[in-house]
Amino acid sequence: MTMVQYLLPAMLGVAVISAVLGVMRLRGGDNRVVDRLRKIGTPQGEVVESAAGLFARPLPVWLRPFTVFSWVLPWQSQSPLLRWELAGAGFRHDDVTKVFVGLRVFLAAALGLVMLYVGGNYTGLLQMEVTVLSGVVALVGFMAPSMWLRIKQNQRRMEITLALPDALDLMVICVEAGQGLNAALLSVSRESTLHSRAMSEELRLVNLEMSTGVQRTQALRNLARRTGNEDVRGLVAVLVQSDRFGTSIARALRIHAASLRTRRRQRAEEAARKTPVKMLFPLVFCIFPALLVVMLAPGMLQLIDALKGMND
């Protein structure tokens, strides 16, 4: 009876949390749909921001104090590699590297000191154990922003991967209509704002670089380096080769778009085949124990009562 008394509240808590998360997810989906419909109804000039706006966005006020802590790691706050990684996640502000490094230093110091204080005053651990545990917590705080950055990069790459075939089809239409590659990129970036903001921003950055004097080949290679996406690298290779050898860009883009759609379908089939394996963990550890409790608990209670009666 004691096990049932502990399992039922735990299952009830899990059910309540799942219901709350489901309601929040549904509300978030409705808000996204309403927001997208509202943007579609507005004039095109109000939806698409200027290319200079990609860099002129103000830094949030609550992030500015973290730049003070970047002096601890000056070589990292001025690292070009870190700036490329942050750009791959969609962060291009001038002080974004200082904010990122300062946030890592602040989290490491704050969590380490808090753990040192709590472990020394409210636990019975030895001083050496508290020091080691504080160091581990500080390391976790130092690495947490990097893990968050990897997650944002993967989300942005997936968004670009899903939006790229449609963008290529639109680019083919623009090129066959008589536009040059630069004008086609600008048109696609303008039309892709509602469908994929990440794709729109990256294409506008390519146009911005070319308008400032960067060669088209270098601007396209910068696009591949920023995104870190295999499909974008393939697109850049196709455009560079077509520009170098003078072949038809529209035909090359059409073939590449067809190959991307095939690859996207294969990726979806692969994800579908992985579903049974991913369902194994929630089935074994979440669903089956609940079923066993519901189905076997009444019988077990009756059996325990019967055994108690026989002993009496």
User: DSSP assignment of 240-290, as one string?
Assistant: HHHHHHT--HHHHHHHHHHHHHHHHHHHHHHHHHTHHHHHHHHIIIIIHHH
Tokens encoding 263? 């690859």
> What pLDDT band is residue 2 in, cutting at 50, 70 and 90?
low
Do 292 and 10 contact (CB within 8 A), yes or no? Answer: no
Tokens encoding 135? 């160091």
pLDDT at 53 (0 to 100): 55
Do 163 and 196 contact (CB within 8 A), yes or no? Answer: yes
User: What mean pLDDT comes out for the span 211-222?
Assistant: 87
Tokens encoding 269? 């089939």
Q: Is 207 helix (H, G, I), strand (E, B) or coil?
A: helix
Asked if the model's pLDDT at residue 20 lies above 70, the reply is no
pLDDT at 78 (0 to 100): 84
Q: Is 89 helix (H, G, I), strand (E, B) or coil?
A: coil
- Which DSSP state fits 192? T
Look at residues 82, 62, 88 and name the one whose alpha carbon lies nearest to residue 153: 88
Per-residue pLDDT tens digits for 100-114? 899 899 999 998 888
Please provide the average confidence, as pLDDT, over all residues in the chain: 79
pLDDT > 90 in the chain, percent: 3
Lowest-confidence pick of 140-144, 203-207, 304-308: 304-308
Per-residue pLDDT tens digits for 38-58? 555 544 444 344 444 555 566
Per-residue pLDDT tens digits for 67-78? 888 888 888 888
Q: Which residues contact 87 (CB under 8 A, 6 or more apart)?
A: 226
Q: Which residues contact 235 (CB under 8 A, 6 or more apart)?
A: 164, 168, 256
pLDDT at 143 (0 to 100): 92
Asked if the model's pLDDT at residue 312 lies above 60, the reply is yes
Query: Is the pLDDT higher at 270 or at 16?
Result: 270
Tokens encoding 249? 């860009």
Q: Is 82 helix (H, G, I), strand (E, B) or coil?
A: helix
Most confident of 61-65, 141-145, 192-196, 302-306: 141-145
Residue listed under structure tokens 């409790």: 293
Asked if the model's pLDDT at residue 32 lies above 60, the reply is no
Rounded distance between C-alpha atoms, residue 133 and residue 296, angstroms = 42
pLDDT at 287 (0 to 100): 81
Lowest-confidence pick of 42-46, 91-95, 105-109, 287-291: 42-46
Asked if the model's pLDDT at residue 207 lies above 50, the reply is yes
User: What mean pLDDT comes out for the span 144-156?
Assistant: 90
Rounded to a whole number of angstroms, the CA Rg of the chain reads 27
User: What mean pLDDT comes out for the span 195-203?
Assistant: 86
Rounded distance between C-alpha atoms, residue 110 and residue 144, angstroms = 13
Asked if the model's pLDDT at residue 244 lies above 70, the reply is yes
* 142-145 contacts at long range (C-beta below 8 A, 24 or more positions apart): 142/104, 142/105, 142/107, 142/108, 144/104, 144/107, 145/100, 145/103, 145/104, 145/107
Lowest-confidence pick of 39-48, 168-177, 200-209: 39-48
Angle at which helices 80-88 and 96-122 cross, to 10°: 90
